[in-house]
Amino acid sequence: MSTEQILSSDGLPLEVSLRKAERKNKLKALFLVGPLFLFLIITYVFPIGDMLFRSIDDRKITKMLPNTFTAIEKWDGQNLPGEPVYAALYEDLAYLKKTKTYGKIIARLNYEKGGFSSLIKKTVRKLGKFEDGNYKEQFINVHKRWGQPEYLVALKNAAPNWTYAKYLKGVDLKFDQNGDIVQQPEDRRIHKILWLRTLKVAFWVTIFCFILAYPISYLLATLPMKYSNLLMICVLLPFWTSLLVRTSSWMVLLQQQGPINDLIVMLGLAANDNRPELMYNVIGTFVAMTQILLPFMVLPLYSVMKTISPSLMRAGKSLGGTPFVAFRKIYFPLTVPGIGAGSLLVFILAIGYYITPALVGGASGSLISNTIAYHMKSSLDWSFAAALGTMLLVGVLTIYWIYNKLVGIDNIKLG
């Protein structure tokens, strides 16, 4: 058999020519995706990476106390350190005093151990009277805390460039004086409750969305087009309406003098002067979020149910199954992909919800996003906000990954 090569018109072997064309097409596709990809890398992926970096970055204080941290590294943390540490501390503090920047280290050290604020302020004030040599004694004379090893241990603990202390704080843990991980004091354990509440609300919102969405999706999928199009508006209009408008309508409904409370009083379930609080607690968050996220459950369920042939149910019934059995054994299993898609979508959206809990949730109905916003805007502990954000992000991306495996991103349907 002859193995004469087939040549394409430009004289190259066909195989080479095809591969070349294939590569050209591949590059063309990449070239089209390129602009958006680069745009997102620069303005989105990189900033998120930067946020992660910020949550573990502790170099600011290292830059301000460079000599002290170098000297204290050699100390074993048992008895009081020797003269070199105090000499280095004097050098650093003198520089900070001269540049008037010592205020910045106070907050950071106070976070490590309370009491640093007055300690640093008093020391800096007296710094001018220090004489050369024998710094250890002079420091202890200024403030007796310089002679207590706990404070120097705290100083040593603040030395590393990178820290995961903010992550520990996010789950109510902290470093103690010996660098061991311990629980926060009882009255400061607030984040675990918050994480649990967020998960609980997201879970129940997902369950209730499913319970409410399943029957109406079935109705929408089985009704004749002209009726179902009309009913579809009930799903799509809230979907297209501003989130703030929908939240404000819940604020109107749930307020003390609002229609729902009027109804409760009219039905005699509560006295007029003792109207139940429906808003500014977890009930408000839960009810409003369920209604707002419901369309995200209906749409995937509907698009799956639309593809199920009604003859399958009929076949099941004709073979002797009751409608209930036919539904349970035939219809329901076929809708599982839709249930998965809808549930994951609703759960992902619910876990990061911010606006609705902030407006109708009050203190007891706020979720983890609200705490992140609080640390971003009010307490200005940005690295802690970044740490909480990173923890939330890891959770969401895990679910996103599962979603991608189970449903496929390209199967997301909109409207």
Give the range of 84-92, 141-149, 187-195, 248-256 binding another protein by CB under 8 A.
248-256
97 vs 246 by CB, closer to another protein? 246
Cα–Cα distance measured from residue 186 to residue 191, given in angstroms and rounded to the nearest whole number: 12
Cα–Cα distance measured from residue 329 to residue 389, given in angstroms and rounded to the nearest whole number: 42
Does position 366 interact with another protein (CB under 8 A)? The reply is: no
Q: At what angle do helices 191-222 and 225-240 cross, to 10 degrees?
A: 160
Cα–Cα distance measured from residue 195 to residue 265, given in angstroms and rounded to the nearest whole number: 35
Residues from 268 through 307 that contact another protein (CB under 8 A): 291, 294-295
Residues from 218 through 237 that contact another protein (CB under 8 A): 219, 222-223, 225, 229, 231, 233-237
Other CB atoms within 10 A of residue 230 CB:
10
81 vs 337 by CB, closer to another protein? 337
Cα–Cα distance measured from residue 175 to residue 178, given in angstroms and rounded to the nearest whole number: 8
Cα–Cα distance measured from residue 347 to residue 271, given in angstroms and rounded to the nearest whole number: 37
* DSSP track, 134-162: -HHHHHHHH-GGGGSHHHHHHHHHT-SSB
Does position 162 interact with another protein (CB under 8 A)? The reply is: no
Give the range of 111-119, 217-225, 269-277, 313-321 binding another protein by CB under 8 A.
217-225
CB of 379 to another protein, least distance (A): 14
Other CB atoms within 10 A of residue 290 CB:
21
Give the range of 37-45, 124-132, 171-179, 326-334 binding another protein by CB under 8 A.
37-45
Does position 413 interact with another protein (CB under 8 A)? The reply is: yes
Query: What binding mask, one character per residue, do residues 334-363 give for another protein by CB under 8 A, x or -?
Result: --------------x--xxxxx---x----
CB of 133 to another protein, least distance (A): 45
Other CB atoms within 10 A of residue 27 CB:
11
CB of 415 to another protein, least distance (A): 6
Residue among 95, 299, 272 at smallest CA distance from 214? 299
Residues from 40 through 99 that contact another protein (CB under 8 A): 40, 43-48, 50-51, 54
Does position 25 interact with another protein (CB under 8 A)? The reply is: yes
